[in-house]
Amino acid sequence: MRHEQQFIDNLHTRLTELRAQAEAGVSAALASGGGTFQARLERDVLVAERSGLLAAFNAGENGLCFGRLAFRDGRDHHIGRIGIRRDDADRTPLVVDWRADVARPFYLATGHTPMGLRRRRHISTEGHRVTALHDEILDLTDPERTGLEGSDADAVLLASLDAARTGRMHDIVQTIQAEQDRIIRAPHRGVLVVEGGPGTGKTVVALHRAAYLLYAHREQLARRAVLIVGPNPAFLGYIGEVLPSLGETGVLLATPGELFPGVTATGTDTPRAARVKGSAVMADALAAYVRDRQTLPDAELVIPHDDGDLVLDAVIARAARDRARATRLPHNLARPHFAFAVIDALTAQLVERIGADPLGGPNLLGPDDAAQLGKAVAASREVRSAIDELWPLLNAQQLVAGFLADPVHLPGPDADAVRRDGGPWTPADVPLLDEAAELLGEDDSAARAAAEAARQERIAYAQGVLDMSYGSRTQEFEDLADDDSEVLAAHDVVDAERLAERQEEADHRSAAERAAADRTWAFGHVIVDEAQELSAMMWRLLMRRCPTRSMTLVGDPAQTAEPGGCGSWAAALAPYVGDRWEHIRLDVNYRTPAEIMEVAAEVVRASGDPGFHPPRSIRSTGARPWTLRTDDVPRAIAGAVAEALAGQEDGRTAVIAPRALHGALLAALPDASSGAAPDLTRPVVLLDPRQAKGLEFDTVIVAEPGQLGTSDLYVALTRATQRLGVVHSEALPAGLEPAPGGVPTAA
């Protein structure tokens, strides 16, 4: 242990040196103040680069090195969260990044397939102090014994599983299992579905896959960013430290309700409304609603003009509409085609009226005259008003709000379910907004014209600067220069356009920051957790965000609870990739003890799925789940929480209850954290089952399970890593009744 402690000390010394170098680089760059545009650009790039290094060094310091590989050929490598090199001429590795190929034997080697290893060592640390070593001899012919071998090869894994929860998910780089490693390092092209029941580690595997892909495909994915979609804010807070601890900070984390820039969905829908909004028929309904906004006049529109009234009737409008629709462009982008057709028709009326030959000959107006009349028609406020009425310029929020106020293209019961006049956006509205934005398109011609005008202004200014420079230098050198002079002025080496470009401010935001603000951003890879909950409309949104179909989807159809959730992988993916997707199932439960999993599985079987097989738990705690019937549920839960806290020095306790009970429970648990984004690091947290998805706690107490659907109850029962209790006043659901021979009580 002395040797490893010395190595860890040296490693942290080296890390301190690297951190100091990065900090010095940032300070020097900021102190430089910039100067020329190129200098400012170089400064900003350097600051971003050094700041990223600092973030990686700071995040990866805890448990920086966790393993050591001794190969039969004499090679020896320490394995850690991030790669660190020595300060020598060869820049030899001091610690190898866990994602490097040479580190794979740490996760895959066995006595049967040692992969060239002689010994694998697990190094446990607290801060900078080595607390334990665990060796595995993989070369069966090796006579050397270190004395650090354990009888249980899974000792390190079991120790991490039994550790108290902190309210934050931790990385598993020290305990990645072979089947998890194969998923993490799978090729990033195509759609990979990772299915697994509660506690199988599918979420943490997906996060480590993101870290691996960013390592293996750094140039491509750093430029296009990786999107991770989680079910709710509580979940994103729970997983938020995993990737930074692995040195990766350039990933965009978002809930489905945050995937339309400028909108944060805080409203709630009824289950019926969520189901209707999530169904694929909404795409057709919105498309029909957009076509409704491309109208024809009920009666002739008479537009006053100096040379006589112009008449815009249904015949002209229909021809213009057909012309615009024939372009197959989105509504706003097709609008200019409609406008030009209307203007051409009205101009033709003027040309015919003004230029008509009384004797019946050819029209007296030439092309230039007709063009001048066309400009006058296009500039007419009345003409523009008529065009706006028949083919209005729309945005997504206007369109969806109008549709929900009068959902005419839905059947009566569905229309009644979604009808709404005002109020905050809901998560189910977000894919509708995105669909509307696709149907409308963005007419950015005005913005582009303004940008071009600003560019021309910069060029004119730059030309003035060059002219002044030229005049100044001419005066300065007029007595020295002759016909053979080679003295160069500024205008000899740069023109006004290039000089203007150098004054433009570059966008130095990270790819993730730019992606968050750009609805049309195409991500390099998308990871979706609880993917079984996504509606058909949300799948349409996500597929637009990832046109390459490079995706990792994790979830469990048995836990589908959202009314609009597809549930079936085939149903969700067939419209986009057919059957060209890979499916992997994880069947080992690392979180939930066997005693708890047995109870949760029985609830599912009793609900109508007698053949249900849960994932296999790898550990047993001996603590059976308990139930307690009472007339005062809040008071009983407060007592159970106090008992749980008294029985554990550390760890976290969750009360999972139907939303309707939260008010009474908060009154009984004043110190509990709750709300849309509760603080999961607090000792006690109050959640509903949907918020609890993907989370884990040492102790879980479920309130009134009879008020929960089977999927929600299954989720609630499988969040505990140690102890589970149920408090109720109503009858228990089938499968959760106390065992014959006695009524369990709180233990």
In 3-state terms the chain splits into helix, strand, coil percentages (rounded to 5) of 45, 15, 40
Compute how many other C-beta atoms are within 10 angstroms of the C-beta atom of residue 137.
19
In this prediction, residues 346-369 reach a mean pLDDT of 82
In this prediction, residues 270-291 reach a mean pLDDT of 96
Give just the sign of the alpha carbon dihedral 215, 216, 218, 222: negative
Q: What is the largest CA-CA distance in the chain?
A: 118
- Which has more confidence, 138 or 585? 585
Strand order in the sheet with 226-229: 251-254, 226-229, 525-528, 551-555, 191-196, 581-586
CA of 603: how far to CAs of 160, 556, 619, 673, in Å? Answer: 29, 16, 21, 28
Q: What is the pLDDT of residue 746?
A: 41
Q: Residue 546: what are its φ and ψ, rounded to 5°?
A: -135, 75
Half-sphere exposure at residue 498, Cβ-oriented, CA atoms within 13 angstroms: 8
In this prediction, residues 697-709 reach a mean pLDDT of 96
Q: Residue 584: what are its φ and ψ, rounded to 5°?
A: -125, 135
* Residues in CB range of 737: below 8 A, 6 or more apart: none
Is the whole-model pTM more than 0.85? no
DSSP 8-state assignment for residue 133 = E
Percent over 70 (pLDDT), the chain = 84
In this prediction, residues 624-634 reach a mean pLDDT of 95
List pLDDT tens digits, range 387-443.
Answer: 999 999 999 999 999 999 999 999 999 999 999 988 999 999 999 999 999 999 986
pLDDT at residue 502 above 70? Answer: no
List pLDDT tens digits, range 91-112.
Answer: 888 999 999 999 999 999 988 8
Helices (H) and strands (E) in the chain, counts: 28, 21
DSSP 8-state assignment for residue 592 = S
Q: What is the pLDDT of residue 24?
A: 81
Beta pairing, strands 93-97 & 84-85: antiparallel
Q: What is the pLDDT of residue 480?
A: 44
Length of the chain equals 747
In this prediction, residues 629-642 reach a mean pLDDT of 96
* Residues in CB range of 600: below 8 A, 6 or more apart: 198, 592, 614, 714, 717, 718
Contact by Cβ (8 Å): 732, 706: yes
Query: Whose CA is closest to 617, among 640, 638, 634, 600?
Result: 600
Q: What is the pLDDT of residue 442?
A: 82
Look at the block and give the residue holding tokens 């001429």.
89
Q: What is the pLDDT of residue 373?
A: 87
For residue 619, give the H/E element and its range.
none
Q: What is the pLDDT of residue 474?
A: 46
Kindly write down the DSSP assignment for every residue of 294-308, as one continuous string: S---SSPEEE--TTS
In this prediction, residues 681-690 reach a mean pLDDT of 95
Q: What residues does 552 pair with on adjacent strands?
A: 192, 527
Q: How far apart are CA 318 and CA 308, in angstroms?
A: 23
* Stretch among 140-149, 156-165, 188-197 having the lowest mean pLDDT: 140-149
Query: Whose CA is closest to 235, among 688, 640, 665?
Result: 688
Average model confidence (pLDDT) for the chain?
Answer: 86
- Which has more confidence, 562 or 40? 562
Query: Whose CA is closest to 284, among 411, 401, 422?
Result: 411
Q: How far apart are CA 552 and CA 529, in angstroms?
A: 9
Which tokens sit at 185?
């390092």
pLDDT at residue 742 above 60? Answer: no
In this prediction, residues 554-583 reach a mean pLDDT of 89
Contact by Cβ (8 Å): 381, 367: no
Query: Whose CA is closest to 383, among 420, 331, 347, 426?
Result: 347
pLDDT at residue 481 above 50? Answer: no
Query: Whose CA is closest to 714, among 731, 689, 734, 694?
Result: 689
- Which has more confidence, 316 or 465? 316
Listed as own residue / partner, the contacts of 47-52 with beta carbons closer than 8 Å and 24 or more positions apart are: 48/508, 48/510, 50/22, 50/23, 50/25, 50/26, 51/22, 51/26, 52/249, 52/250
Q: What is the pLDDT of residue 158?
A: 74
List pLDDT tens digits, range 660-679.
Answer: 999 999 999 999 999 988 99
Q: How far apart are CA 184 and CA 258, in angstroms?
A: 26
Strand order in the sheet with 93-97: 84-85, 93-97, 76-80, 65-71, 117-126, 129-137
Compute how many other C-beta atoms are within 10 angstroms of the C-beta atom of residue 328.
8
- Which has more confidence, 35 or 113? 113
Alpha-carbon torsion angle 403, 405, 409, 410, nearest 10: 120
Listed as own residue / partner, the contacts of 734-740 with beta carbons closer than 8 Å and 24 or more positions apart are: 734/603, 734/606, 734/607, 735/599, 735/602, 735/603, 735/604, 735/605, 735/606, 735/607, 736/599, 736/602, 736/603, 736/627, 736/705, 738/627
3-state secondary structure of 264: coil
pLDDT at residue 25 above 90? Answer: no
In this prediction, residues 80-88 reach a mean pLDDT of 86
- Which has more confidence, 132 or 478? 132
Q: What is the pLDDT of residue 21?
A: 83
Split at pLDDT 50, 70, 90, the class of 641 is very high
Q: What is the pLDDT of residue 52?
A: 63
In this prediction, residues 341-358 reach a mean pLDDT of 87
Query: Whose CA is closest to 552, among 90, 165, 302, 180?
Result: 180
Look at the block and give the residue holding tokens 């039994």.
162
Split at pLDDT 50, 70, 90, the class of 47 is low
Contact by Cβ (8 Å): 211, 100: no
Q: Residue 688: what are its φ and ψ, rounded to 5°?
A: -100, 165
